[in-house]
Amino acid sequence: MVIKHRLKSRAPVDLHDRTVFYAKAEGPEADDLSESHAGVVRPMLATGKKVRKAAAGGHEHVHGTPKEKAERWAGYQKKLDEAHAEHPRWGLTALREEVAERMPISFSTIKRHTRRTW
């Protein structure tokens, strides 16, 4: 049983991997588990799902849905194109710095979500 061997090794194993293994164990593998241990791990798997779902909801609340983020990032590109229209001789980095100064976001964010379109 490969997974059981991994659990005995000193190699780092994600807790979720162990939880999934124990919660889904059936047949001969389930016989190797004590009932008390499986009873403890199964609820942990359900709790992990609830925690991940809550974290995803919190992320959406703070940062927006994927659609809202895409719209916001498109706005960064629009501002970059407007800055290029005002200063056509400027390089891409100078334009990105200008946009970052105009908007309350960092240069790195502008760099991450914009590209040269001219």
Report pLDDT digits (tens) over 80-106: 999 999 999 999 999 999 999 999 899
Q: Is the pLDDT assigned to residue 8 strictly greater than 90? A: no
What is the structure's pLDDT at 30? 53
Report phi then psi at 69, rounded to 5: -65, -40
Q: What is the pLDDT of residue 1?
A: 45
Q: For residue 98, give the 3-state DSSP assignment.
A: helix
Helix ranges, 34-65 (H): 35-63
d(CA 60, CA 24) in angstroms, rounded, equals: 30
**What's the average model confidence in pLDDT over 45-55?**
84
**What is residue 32's predicted lDDT score, i.e. its pLDDT?**
55
